[in-house]
Structure 1
Amino acid sequence: MNTYPATAYKILTADQWAAFERDGVFAGAPVDHADGYIHLSAADQLQGTLDKHFAGQTGLVIAEVDLGMLGDDVRWEVSRGGALFPHLYNRPLPMTAVVSVRAG
């Protein structure tokens, strides 16, 4: 049986974070809309995601998300390098699930 971490991370641009704070929910970045779910990363996947998808970008915000608050809408699925990544389906990410924030 797999034991998954209690939290995961969403990387947002400064504009995405500002809209998230304003709206109280994050419906997803363009890549999330294209793929049909909100991409998240476990702690040990975070640097790889930053390097692959956000290289050279400034003003990034990393939001730590309480996965327990999202229940069965989080699915761990095979992605980069065969690793299981957390994906949020069927709903926007609520600000109430964010437990900490830091600069990226």
Structure 2
Amino acid sequence: MSDLPRLIYKIATGASLAPARLAGHYAGMPIDLADGYMHFSTAAQLPETLRLHFKDQADLVLLAVPTAPLGDSLVWEPSRGGQLFPHLYGGPLDLGLVEWEAETSVDAEGHCDLPETVR
């Protein structure tokens, strides 16, 4: 895919991320483990992903990950409405790659406040 965004975003719960911080790598949420790859969203996809899959959840953490270091492990595949979503194959995410992280939550209607740094 040409014109890859510089950053993609992983949505994690604080509980799922806590043991990963000690290990230095993150295997993902239960859906990632079940599907065999890690789900990410672009900045444009992030609000809808949060609304659809994380409604009424607090203690969420957004991990901003640069696409370039992921190399061929990052695959863009069609999903919701034919949009190409970034999926990471081949193992856990090295937390040393995370450029920044921010806490967020999603209300019962699916609204959330994203950090200004999401672009």
Aligned residues: 104
**Matching of residues 1-104 of structure 1 within 5 Å:** 2-104=2-104
CA contact (8 A) 1:67 1:97 kept: no
Q: Give 1 or 2 for the bigger CA radius of gyration.
A: 2
CA distance in 2, matches of 1:59, 1:102: 10
| Structure whose residues are more often helix by fraction | 1
Aligned AA (2:28): G
Unaligned runs of 5+ in 2: 105-119
Q: Residue deviations 1:22-70, cap 9 Å, x none? A: 1110112110111110000000001111111110000100000011111
CA distance in 1, matches of 2:6, 2:60: 23
CA distance in 2, matches of 1:66, 1:4: 10
Aligned AA (2:37): Y
TM, length-normalised to structure 1: 0.94
Unaligned runs of 5+ in 1: none
CA distance in 2, matches of 1:14, 1:28: 11
CA distance in 1, matches of 2:29, 2:52: 16
Shift of 1:77: 0.5
RMSD, aligned α-carbons: 1.1
Shift of 1:20: 2.1
CA distance in 2, matches of 1:39, 1:19: 19
Q: Find runs of 4+ consecutive structure 1 residues off by over 4 angstroms.
A: none
SS at match of 1:60: strand
CA contact (8 A) 1:10 1:41 kept: yes
